[in-house]
Amino acid sequence: MRHVASFWPALILAVLAAAIAAPPAVAADEPPAAPELVENALDGVPPDEARMESYSHGRYVLRLVDFLWGVALLSVIVFSGFSGYLQRVVEKATLRPNLKVALYVVLFTLISFAGTFPLSVYRGYVREKAYGFANQTFPAWLGDQGKELALGVVIQALFFTVLYLAIRRLGRRWWVAGAALAIAFLVLLLAVGPVFIAPLFNKFEPLKDAALRGDILAMAHAQGIPADEVYQVDASRQSEHNNAYVAGLLGTQRIVLYDTLLRKFSPREIKVVMGHEMGHHVLNHIWKFVAFLSIVILVGFVLVDRLSRRILVRRPALGIAALSEPASLPLLLLVLSVYMFVTGPAAATFSRTMEHRADIFGIEATRDPVAAASAFIKFGRLDLGEYHVHPWIEALLFDHPSLGSRIRFAQDYARRHGTAAAEADPM
């Protein structure tokens, strides 16, 4: 406990230092230079810089720390008997099954948030500020965290109330309905996220660059995407990271560009990035990944049921009377967390395969491998993603091919097929 007690003052001092740090000076009257392609983008993969390695390696470590921290927190809640105690507290307020589950989930979500908050502050704010990415003040960052917490409380209360209703009604067959419910919620969130959730955190507006907007829509229509608008989002309100995406399902699809990407990438690079994102839509990658996850979820729920029941039989002192009681929730999540961690490399491999196919689609749609190689080099330099990744790290952790792999593919494509777009539209 001495280590925990000493952690909080250090964390608070780090947060205060990051929050009051002066922003970098910007020239008042000098307009920003127009972004250009990286010079010699086809001349091999650049070496990694020290900051790229430091930032990337820290992220790998934090992935493991996140998992271990979460497992430790859930283990303490379950095996200390705290979960059973929390249910007894809830039962003093109500004995109605559905309301009991909802109230338990609300309290459990708040406790979990508090338990992971120190790590969240370090990972999401202190570290991002130290590397020059975070643009928010600490109060503004906390405001976004509060919104996420409120959404999590509502969504999880609804989901787990229905899930525990299925457990009570179906007994040992609950995992069939549970898996179906999880898949349905996944699809629902993918559908409503771009329209109802994302705007709670950022402002979306039609792309202001009319020429770029026309080029992107023309490319979308040529690929059979029925888009009538391209959006830009003020992602720089939170961070300097760069991204673009085509998101949504069931008629809610949106083409979105980060304002940071618009500011730092050339039109040719942006079109290649958007071609990649359009490839996900045309190649039905979202639905394919939903299908893959459906199998993972179904198997996971079977294992969760079997292992959780076995633990409850062997450990009656935990104070969890049955799987149908809300006190079993941390145990279910503990088993599921370990299962998802073990199956993570398979999911990452499946995702990398789709991302590579989207890279091919984007280059072929634009006929511009030079811009593709340039964009991948810029992502490394600007977002501090290392180019040269150990094969085991890539296999275990990466849901995209490494930047080095993507740069080499674009360069090989240019050698095999030429650089027609670059010759037709010189910078």
The total of other beta-carbon atoms located within 10 Å of residue 237's CB is 14
Alpha helix (H) ranges present in 21-96?
50-79, 82-91
Domain assignment of residue 258, yes or no: yes
Of the pLDDT bands very low, low, confident and very high (cuts 50, 70, 90), residue 93 is very high
Q: Given this model, what pLDDT does residue 421 score?
A: 56
Alpha helix (H) ranges present in 80-196?
82-91, 97-121, 127-130, 138-170, 174-192
On the question of pLDDT at 57 being above 90, the answer is yes
Q: What pTM was computed for the model?
A: 0.86
Q: Given this model, what pLDDT does residue 226 score?
A: 78
Find, among 63, 55, 154, the residue nearest to 340 by Cα. Answer: 63
On the question of pLDDT at 46 being above 70, the answer is yes
What CATH number does the domain containing 212 carry?
A: 3.30.2010.10
47-53 mean pLDDT: 96
Amino acid letter at 86? L
Q: Given this model, what pLDDT does residue 26 score?
A: 34
Q: Given this model, what pLDDT does residue 34 score?
A: 64
Please tell me the total count of domains within the chain.
1
- Of the listed ranges 237-251, 274-288, 319-333, the least confidently predicted one is 237-251
How much of the chain is in helix, strand and coil states, percent to nearest 5?
A: 75, 5, 25
Find, among 215, 353, 351, 361, the residue nearest to 279 by Cα. Answer: 361
Rounded Cα gap, residues 313 and 204, in angstroms: 52
Q: Given this model, what pLDDT does residue 1 score?
A: 36
Q: Given this model, what pLDDT does residue 419 score?
A: 75
292-317 mean pLDDT: 94
Find, among 3, 6, 8, the residue nearest to 114 by Cα. Answer: 8
Domain assignment of residue 227, yes or no: yes
On the question of pLDDT at 277 being above 60, the answer is yes
CB 144 within 8 A of CB 238: yes
Domain assignment of residue 153, yes or no: no
Classify 239 as helix, strand or coil: strand
Task: Tell me what the pLDDT averaged over the chain comes to.
Answer: 88
Domain assignment of residue 250, yes or no: yes
Residue 258 token pair: 């980060």
CB 387 within 8 A of CB 45: yes
Of the pLDDT bands very low, low, confident and very high (cuts 50, 70, 90), residue 279 is very high
- DSSP-assigned letters across all residues of 346-385: HHHHHHHHHHHHHHHHHHHHHT-HHHHHHHHHHHHHHHT-
Rounded Cα gap, residues 71 and 132, in angstroms: 30
- Of the listed ranges 26-35, 345-354, 369-378, the least confidently predicted one is 26-35
Q: Given this model, what pLDDT does residue 143 score?
A: 96
Of the pLDDT bands very low, low, confident and very high (cuts 50, 70, 90), residue 228 is confident
Count H helices, E strands: the chain?
A: 16, 4
Domain assignment of residue 229, yes or no: yes
Of the pLDDT bands very low, low, confident and very high (cuts 50, 70, 90), residue 194 is confident
Share above pLDDT 90 across residues of the chain, in percent, rounded to a whole number: 78
Boundaries of domain holding 216: 205-270
Domain assignment of residue 113, yes or no: no
pLDDT in tens, 311-349: 999 998 898 989 999 999 999 999 999 999 999 999 999
274-280 mean pLDDT: 93
Q: Which residues pair with 244 in a beta bridge?
A: 257
Find, among 184, 67, 202, 216, the residue nearest to 147 by Cα. Answer: 202
Residue 230's H or E segment, with its range, is strand 230-233
CB 355 within 8 A of CB 27: no
